[in-house]
Amino acid sequence: MSSNELIVLIITHGNFAQELVNTAEMIVGDVSDVFYINFTKDMTPDALKKEVEKIVTNDKNILIFTDLFGGTCFNVAGEFLVNENVEVIAGVNLPLLLEVILTKKIMDFSALVSHLKIKAPESIIFVKDKLNEKK
């Protein structure tokens, strides 16, 4: 397995995952290696797990984003953490997704995960505080 082979999977409640991918594509272009699963109200956790199993493989690194720590999407994704090649991040947002898309080809998996641990807090900005920094 090449250390740069990476699949990004976004799992969220409702259509949030799909719309994040659509928005990322609008901004950066091709995101064909970013997958999403919409956990809809008519799905069971078992059905969601089966969808994740179709994407998670042992021959590629998998970065799974979920929308909510402790929610069904997170709980199902967490079951895949037994695989060394899987990392789960709860609290997906557009800036962090774009960071992954733009840097995943220049960093190996371990370096990317470390990089995201630094970038994640920077992806949420309290604008009033930011504006006051400049004064």
Q: How confident is the model over 27-43, as pLDDT tens digits?
A: 999 999 999 999 999 99
Distance CA 114, CA 96 (A): 13
Using a cut of 0.75, tell me whether the model's pTM lies above it. Answer: yes
pLDDT, greater one: 2 or 67: 67
User: Which of the residues 1, 5, 7, 13 is marked catalytic?
Assistant: 13
Q: Which residue has the tokens 């695989």?
A: 83
Distance CA 87, CA 84 (A): 8
Closest by CA position to 58, among listed 84, 79, 88, 34 = 84
The residue ranges of every structural domain in the chain are 6-133
CATH fold, domain 6-133, is: Rossmann fold (3.40.50)
115 noted as active-site residue: no
Average pLDDT over residues 18-26: 98
Band of residue 4 on the pLDDT scale cut at 50, 70, 90: low
Distance CA 69, CA 57 (A): 23
